[in-house]
Amino acid sequence: MKLSVIIPVYNERDTIAETIRRVRASPVDKEIVVVDDASTDGTPSVLESLAGPDLKLISQPANQGKGAAIRRALEDTTGDVILIQDADLEYDPADYPRLIAPIASGEADVVYGTRAPEFRGMHLPHRIFNWIAARLANLLYRAGITDEATCYKVFRAEVIKSIPLRCQRFEFCPEVTAKVRRRGLHIHEVPVSYQARSVGAGKKIRWWDGVEALWTLVKYRFTD
């Protein structure tokens, strides 16, 4: 079973090389699909230095957002399983084997890596948002999850490619959660390692992204 790791990246010059090193070190058969979202901080040069047969590099002509980058990457993936990886070192690729195991065994089609209950290093406002997002997903979709906003979302390839995604930015997470559940698919959760970083260290999500995420969960309850 081949894994496709999608890494959307925007202005992550200081972390992208270590991210890719860790992804490459994970002991699973994989390809890495990196989408540079028109970075301006030197990230493209770092990515070029990391070129290899296991890495596909896609460059967006203009900054469009994480969701748009993921949708673009899906066009070029060839793996049986698709996994989303952030480029900021908050998540550990050493968790890949446990994340893909439920899919490899036939137990699940969709797996989320849950950071609950610790959410290590996460500031209180983000903890509150994560609590609200998970409960709203459970209320609207009977999702039965503890961490809706986790980066680590893993899919059987044919599942994610069959879902008509429209996301541009961080609303990828609530949109895919809503549409997975509307199709009657169970979300299997697996505990993962996590170490939050601060806005000062480069974290890009802001309060209005949280508002948009919650609205997205509500919106897709009534439309596809």
Domain architecture of the chain: domains with CATH:
3-222 (3.90.550.10)
Determine what percent of the chain is predicted with pLDDT higher than 90: 88
Give the pLDDT score at 206: 75
Structure tokens at 83: 């996994």
Q: CA 186 from chain center: how many Å?
A: 18
Rounded distance, CA 209 to CA 168, Å? 11
pLDDT in tens, 63-91: 999 999 999 999 999 999 999 999 999 99
DSSP output for 57-120? EEE-SS---HHHHHHHHHTT---SEEEE--SSSSB-GGGHHHHHHHHHTTS-SEEEEE-TTT-T
